[in-house]
Amino acid sequence: MRSRHLALALFLPALILSAGTSKSPKRSSGPVKSAKEAKAIAEQETGGKATSARRIPLNGASGGWEVEVRMPREAKGWRCIIDADTHLIHSKTRIEQPGAKGPSEGPIRVVKGTG
């Protein structure tokens, strides 16, 4: 009977620790193969909406992706370079909003005149 309690005492902490561990989100294996995947990674990192993605050569056989991200309610967007092998952001640079109509795009102003 005593050995059963000892075994339970040794097993219980390991069981509790494993129950509290959260699993990381499942990542597909292999390099980033599509623009859709690259855009999803950039959107998750920045919180914006990806407008374009293109393949670029990057330090490795699989290369990388350059993704432009539009940031709603902000003056500037992001250009993210994603390493295709690691699925991680290699670099992130602030840029003018992608898809902007002009340099001073902002909220629409209504000017009421006398008529």
Contact present, 99 and 108 (Cβ < 8 Å): no
Core vs surface per residue 43-73: b (16+ CB within 10 A) or e: eebbebebeebeeeebeeeebbbbbbbbbee
The pLDDT tens digits of the residues spanning 40-98 come to 999 999 999 999 999 999 887 789 999 999 999 899 999 999 999 999 999 999 999 88
Contact present, 66 and 50 (Cβ < 8 Å): no
DSSP H or E stretch at residue 62: none
* pTM, 2 dp: 0.62
- pLDDT band with cut points at 50, 70 and 90 for residue 24: very low
